[in-house]
Copies of this chain bind each other. A is one copy, B any other.
């Protein structure tokens, strides 16, 4: 994008769509975890901590559909399924990490802004 030029409305909408997908409660956690290497379903689940079985399955399916991860079923019993980032998924991890870095470095500023805002507006609220 040219400096000074902001996103046009149509582009912004598509971006917003993707951001909504990726900005959901779990997607970034999953992609981040897989960024360190392949993981199986339950390993992934333990790594993330408090994700429900349902949401992990849904998130993984969406990421697979979007071409970000590969699902590899090992023909053993009991079955094992290994998830890995695709090349596309790795590419995605770059701007995501840049964004993540900014967020991590500025989180305290946001918290401060919130505290300040709340302080100035905690008046007259209830009876």
A contact set with B: CB distance below 8 Å:
1, 6-7, 9, 11-16, 18-20, 22-26, 28-29, 32-33, 35-36, 47-49, 64-67, 88, 91-104, 106-107, 109-110, 112-114, 116-118
- Tell me the bound Cα distance from A20 to B99 in angstroms: 13
The residue in A64, A100, A104 that gathers the most chain B C-beta atoms within 10 A of its C-beta is: A100
State the oligomeric state as a number of copies.
2
A114 to chain B, nearest CB (A): 5
- Tell me the bound Cα distance from A13 to B26 in angstroms: 9
- Tell me the bound Cα distance from A100 to B98 in angstroms: 12
- Known contacts: A1-B101, A102-B95. The answer to whether A28 contacts B15 by CB under 8 A is yes
